Amino acid sequence: MIGQYTKGYGTSYTPSVAPTQQASGFTPTQAMGAAAVTGLISGIGAAYAQQAQGYYQQAGYAVQAQEALRMAGLRADKAVEYGEAAFKRNLMKIEYETLNYKIQANNQLKNLRATNAAILARGYASGVVATGGSYAGVRGANVREVYQDVGISDLNAMTARILGLEDATTMLQQSYDMAFYEREAAIANAGTLLKSGGFASKTGGLLAGAELAKAGTNFAMTYPKNPE
């Protein structure tokens, strides 16, 4: 029966729905097929999103690695810069110390000349030959003592130069070593970050493949065999 007529003031027609068709215009089989297709599309979208997440993580790790290398380079350069500046300051300090010892030695010799000249003057003023006798002995003793002191000053100057250069060179080498290890650590860290990014990308691909497989399985199970 397609419809029903009713009698009254006018004639009207009320259509009836076929028993195998819903009000939306789709049969149950067609509705199942549409739902299966929608689920498949949703699964494909989730798979691409998962893969994109892996790529995003990989890019993030790459940025971190690049930034780590950049900062390590800056720290290494600063370490070398400070080390070289300290080395120059130490060299100046060594020169000042050596100069002070030289000045000390020169003052000792100056005082020796003045002392011996005063001895000679007193001897000649007393009417004796000041170049011999006890006067000469006193002057000779002064010379020996002063030259011993001058030798010690020269030795101190040489020691200060040698030890100072050794310390300055050691500090400079430490700054170079620090810069080297800083860069090597950054390179190792960057390699680890890049590997983590690669793992993240592979994991995203695997998860995306799992999402696609799941979507395909669900589609195969839910899509009607004979859609009408």
Question: Where residue 26 falls among pLDDT bands split at 50, 70, 90?
Answer: low
Mean pLDDT over each residue of the chain, to the nearest integer: 76
**pTM for the complete prediction?**
0.54
What is the pLDDT averaged over residues 116-134?
71
The DSSP line for the chain is --EEEE-SSS-EEEE---TT--TTS--HHHHHHHHHHHHHHHHHHHHHHHHHHHHHHHHHHHHHHHHHHHHHHHHHHHHHHHHHHHHHHHHHHHHHHHHHHHHHHHHHHHHHHHHHHHHHHHHHHTTS-TTSHHHHHHHHHHHHHHHHHHHHHHHHHHHHHHHHHHHHHHHHHHHHHHHHHHHHHHHHHHHHHHHHHHHHHHHHHHHHHHHHHHHHHHHHHHS-SS--
What is the pLDDT averaged over residues 45-52?
77
Residue 130: the pLDDT is 60
Percentage of the residues of the chain whose pLDDT score is greater than 70: 81
Residue 129: the pLDDT is 62
Residue 91: the pLDDT is 87
